[in-house]
Amino acid sequence: QRRNWHMTNIGIPGFWPHVALYVGTPEEIEAYFSELDFQPVETIKALYPDAFQALEKADESGYPMRVIEAIRPGVVFQSLETSARCDYLGVLRPTLGKAEKFKALLGALSHFGKPYDLNFDFTTENALVCSELVYKAYRAGGRLPLYPEIINGRRLLPPNRLAEQAVSEMGEGGAFEFVLFLD
């Protein structure tokens, strides 16, 4: 995501300064993962009750929560309508199987409520930035070709670099597929 005239455009390198994960509503999660040998929503409720309770809510405008992202004040759920309210939006989908995607969903939910990492430090688990949430979620779900780098002495994966790595892995048999670009 890119929002023109946001301060993050100054401090975060590249065109894309933010990344988020679409998770869907509990009903969408249940429908999408229904072919797995367990009840996805019941699993989430049991493992991450606080995250599930937040996911069930609607935003101030009545839209359902569908996106998990790390913003200030931390890892939160937002409606797609709020999260995607930006000047540019690119959507990429990993080509993992449903079991791996569910593990990635659980990986993301495990970070719900953690604060935003103002130090941009990928080596810690107690606070996260947006691209770190995506990276760590999919690291939990299976191997995707996303590789943090050392930038200014810190290990991280800026959103723009994450997008570049994903685009380089698109195509026949690739790890990602293109879904949408909105300008």
Query: Tens of pLDDT along 97-145?
Result: 999 999 999 999 999 999 999 888 899 999 999 999 999 999 987 778 9
pLDDT exceeding 90 applies to what percent of the chain?
77
Per-residue pLDDT at 19:
96
71 has pLDDT over 80: yes
Average pLDDT over residues 45-67: 98
Confidence of residue 61 (pLDDT cuts 50, 70, 90): very high
- The mean pLDDT of the chain is 93
Residue with structure tokens 């367990």?
38
Show the beta-strand stretches assigned E in the chain.
21-22, 65-71, 74-79, 89-94, 149-151, 154-156, 176-182
Cα distances (angstroms) measured from residue 97 to each of 5, 22, 104, 139, 154: 38, 16, 11, 14, 32
Residue 12 has pLDDT above 80, yes or no: no
The pLDDT, as a whole number, for residue 86 is 93
Determine the pLDDT at residue 9.
64
pTM of the model: 0.93
Does the structure show a pLDDT above 80 at 11?
no
Residue 157 contacts residue 121 (beta carbons within 8 Å): no
**Residue with more model confidence, 143 or 90:** 90
Q: How confident is the model at residue 15 (pLDDT cuts 50, 70, 90)?
A: confident
Cα-based distances in Å from 32 to 28, 29, 99, 101 = 6, 5, 11, 10
